[in-house]
Structure 1
Amino acid sequence: MARLNGKEVEPHADYGFFGPGSVVWKVWSYPTAPTVGFQRSVVVEELDPPLVAAVHGTQGIYERTRTRYDRTLRYFAMVAFAGSDQVCKAADVLVKVHSKAIGHLPYGEGTYDANDPASQLWIQLTGWHSILYAYEKYGPGKLTAEEEKEYWESCALAAEFQTCSPDDVPRDRAGIRAYFERMRPQLEASPIARQAMNHLLDTGLVLPPTAWWMKPARTVVARTHRIATIATMPRWMREMAQIRQSRLLDVLVVPVMRISFALAHLSPRVELFLLGMLSPSTVTVVAPVKLGVPPRTKEVLTPEQARTRHGYAKPAEAHAEFRARQAVRVFGDGKPPSDQGLIESQEVLGPLA
């Protein structure tokens, strides 16, 4: 049994939904995924008005930046690497967490709901696209045509753990481009979107406290990470969000990041140490994969098989009564939503503070 930080690494129950040899494990286990890839996804997401309204309404990214980043990254890593029972449980409790993020749009008419399928599709596609983009730009490079086809098929499979429909997930790069073109007129860099994007670009907010003599290095790491993430964003998006960065920095940061990630990837334990600095709770999810600890049962399941075996409803159908009560509290009674989902999620997604 492999050990990490003096403790035995607990195996997953099974291989989950992808397993060894899958393109998902190949891309998501590279150090670009939890760093530039993940940061890019949460930054780009904020351009969607309903999503940023939900983010702004809960204030989680401002009041508990580090734990919010940690919990969100843990969830995405679980879908990629964890056992089927863990993933089903996480997806189920996430519906209850998102039921808190409802309200009236701060700009214009209408309401927002973090469980809305359109918002969930936006999160799913920006996340998976950003992870792949960072892998291609700062990692080993382009996938083969067969690998890319598998990647987007896997994205559709993973969408079954969101409230969106997997049928709406494009199955190739052309389809992904078409989706973002359709979304572009709906995107908006409102004041709360710009505030959230700049906040989330500050990697220093999610790094652990350091001794005074390490602060200069910490600042360099955070600044370089910000440059690398901005360099992955298209010009029109940066202009919309009023994010400035020279083309020279865009070019210079590429070899720096490629070399840094390649060196980190030489040692699984170094990768896990660096991951622990960004997202401590994600280490236990990734460690069995990085250290070659086999699951208790060597099988890969489909989402339908997993839900039947473990007794969970599809996320789109889960907790309908609870979500309805939340809507009555917010839209009918004018009260804040219940925190029940957040409280219950700590066992699965990690502590809130």
Structure 2
Amino acid sequence: MPTSRGRADQPRREWEDYGFFGPDSPSWQVWTAPTALLGFQRSVVLEHFDPFLAAAVADMYGIYSDPRGRLDRTLAYFLTVAVADGRTAIEASEILMRVHAKATGIEPISGQRYSANNPASQLWIHVTGWHSVLKCYEMYGPGPLSAAREQRYWDDCVVAAELQTCKPSDVPSSRAQVREYFAEVRPRLCSSERAERAMHYLLRTPRAQGKFSLWAGSRLMARSTIATLPRWMRQMGRFEQSAAVDRAILAPTRAAIRATGSPRAKLAILRGYAPMTGGVLRQHLYGDPRPRAETITPARARELYGPAAKLRAEAMFAGR
């Protein structure tokens, strides 16, 4: 997210409202926890089980030419939708749509045309993102949410989907529906040489391209991330890790999460690993109080701040 000072760790402007969820929401709680980094690594790896997304990522080559920037921008988007104000979230979604509009081509396995904005692919990104962040929060963080707060989390997940091309009615709205969704899409998922290369690259990014922070961070998280995966995903992605390693990694990962739970620690990690995301979190934690202590719906935010609103404003000033 650009800033007025040209620095990724500085806010562009103060936020105006509580965005879509608000300070008492489980979304603010889960998405700002240190476990979100593990969940994010998990989700960007699983993204490649969709053959059309794997083709888009491979053809654009962004994770190989600028792995830290590519990952940082994606995580910053997810965090922006979760905690920023309505204006900022809508503007971020518009930018993402424009970037995805350029990602089109032919998927080599099926020979079909792909588009990164395809609703089915967007739904896979969205569900795996929100599910992965909650999964890691439960496994390595404070533990499961209460039944009521978990339901609210999935309700928030449906709301956040309104910023993408997938239909909110297609988004799972409970843990049971998430399981049903995975069962439904599993026959359409697959791996390939290009997908495997990308998944393992994201799990353990080479130092020469990822620089030290991403090289070290990805390796520190990789085993903990793999430990969250069900057996069928491990087999499909060829993630070889024994049950003994899964058990051994649990306690040290939980200890590391507890040690990095303070705002200062989280920002210190993001400063080197994902500075743009760190800028979003810094503004969330330390920005000025938001003038309107209220939430807003995506539909209302789009009406106020989306392309149509900008056109209306331009027409008004042009007529003066």
TM-score, structure 2 as length reference: 0.88
Q: Distance in 2 between matches of 1:166 and 1:7?
A: 33
CA contact (8 A) 2:203 2:219 kept: no
Q: 1:124 to 1:222 in 2, by over 3 A?
A: closer
Contact 1:18 1:24 in 2 (8 A): yes
Q: Which amino acid aligns with 1:29?
A: T
Shift of 1:193: 0.9
For 2:227, give the aligned amino acid: A
Find 1:26's aligned residue among 29, 45, 64.
Answer: 29
**Cα deviations across residues 113-156 of structure 1 (Å, max 9, x unaligned)?**
00110000000000000000000000000111101110111000
Of 231, 252, 258, 2:254 maps to 258
CA contact (8 A) 1:152 1:170 kept: yes
Distance 1:286 1:7, change over 3 A: closer
Cα deviation, residue 312, structure 1: 3.4
> Could you tell me how far 1:224 is from its partner in structure 2?
2.9
Counterpart in 2 of 1:291? 286
Shift of the alpha carbon at 1:297? 2.6
- Measured against aligned partners, the alpha-carbon deviations of 1:138-179 in whole angstroms (never above 9, x if no partner) come to 000011110111011100000000011111111110100000
CA contact (8 A) 1:201 1:226 kept: yes
Structure 1: runs of 5+ lacking an equivalent: 1-5, 315-353
**Alpha-carbon distance in structure 2 between the residues aligned to 1:222 and 1:187:** 24
Could you tell me which of 225, 234, 237 is aligned with 2:233? 237
Q: Could you tell me which amino acid in structure 1 is paired with residue 284 of structure 2? A: V
Q: Secondary structure at the match of 2:81?
A: helix
Q: How does 1:64-143 map to 2 (within 5 A)?
A: 64-143=66-145
Amino acid of the structure 2 residue aligned with 1:168: D
Alignment match, 1:13: 16
CA deviations over 1:94-129 (Å, ceiling 9, x no partner): 111001110111112211000110000000000000
Residue 204 (structure 1) shift: 5.9
Find the aligned partners of 2:92 and 2:174 in 1 and give their Cα distance: 27
- Worse overlay, 304-313 or 14-23: 304-313
For residues 236 and 155 of structure 2, the distance between their equivalents in structure 1, rounded to whole angstroms, comes to: 31
The separation in 2 between residues aligned to 1:8 and 1:99, in whole angstroms, is 27
Percent sequence identity over aligned pairs: 45
Partners in 1 of 2:101 and 2:11 — Cα distance? 36
TM-score of the superposition, structure 1-length normalised? 0.80
Task: Answer whether contact 2:205 2:218 (CA < 8 A) is retained.
Answer: yes
- Deviation string 1:25-72 (CA, Å, 9 cap, x unpaired) is 011111000x21000000011011111111111111111111101111
Number of matched residues? 301
8 Å CA contact 1:40–1:229 kept in 2: the answer is yes
Distance in 2 (CA, whole Å) between partners of 1:208 and 1:192 is 22
Q: How far apart in 2 are the matches of 1:233 and 1:44? A: 9
Contact between 2:91 and 2:306, CA under 8 Å: does it hold in 1? no
Closer, same or farther: CA 42–230 of 1 in aligned 2, 3 Å? same
**AA at the equivalent of 1:238:** R
With 112-121 and 232-241 compared, the bigger mean Cα shift is at: 232-241
Mapped to 1, the partners of 2:70 and 2:96 lie a distance apart of 13
The equivalent of 1:187 in structure 2 is 189
Q: Aligned partners of 1:144, 1:60: CA distance in 2, in Å?
A: 39
After superposition, where does 1:31-50 map in structure 2 within 5 Å?
31-33=34-36, 35-50=37-52
Match among 303, 310, 316 for residue 308 of structure 1: 303
Task: Spell out, residue by residue over 1:179-207, the C-alpha distance to the aligned partner (whole angstroms, 9 max, x if none).
Answer: 00111111111111111100110156586
Whole-angstrom CA distance in 2 between matches of 1:207 and 1:107: 29
- Do the aligned partners of residues 120 and 259 (structure 1) sit closer, same or farther apart at CA in structure 2, a change above 3 Å counting? same
Say whether 1:280 aligns with 2:282.
no
Alpha-carbon separation, structure 2, partners of 1:304 and 1:163: 14
Q: Summarize the Cα distance change of 1:227–1:298 in structure 2 as closer, same or farther, 3 Å threshold.
A: same
Q: 1:190–1:269: structure 2 CA closer, same or farther, 3 Å change rule?
A: same
Structure 2: which 5+ runs fail to align? 1-8, 310-320
Query: Does the CA-based 8 Å contact 2:67-2:210 persist in structure 1?
Result: no
How far apart, CA to CA, are the structure 1 residues paired with 2:96 and 2:11?
Answer: 28
Q: 2:62 aligns with which of 60, 63, 67?
A: 60
Q: Distance in 2 between matches of 1:311 and 1:291?
A: 27
* Distance across 1 between alignment mates of 2:16 and 2:306: 16
Instruction: Measure the CA separation in 2 of the matches of 1:118 and 1:8.
Output: 33
Report the CA distance between 1:241 and its aligned residue: 1.5
The answer to whether the aligner puts 1:246 opposite 2:249 as a matched pair is no
Distance in 2 between residues matched to 1:64 and 1:177, nearest whole Å: 34
Aligned equivalents of 2:103 and 2:63: distance in 1? 13
Query: Structure 1 residues 183, 247: closer, same or farther in 2, change over 3 A?
Result: same
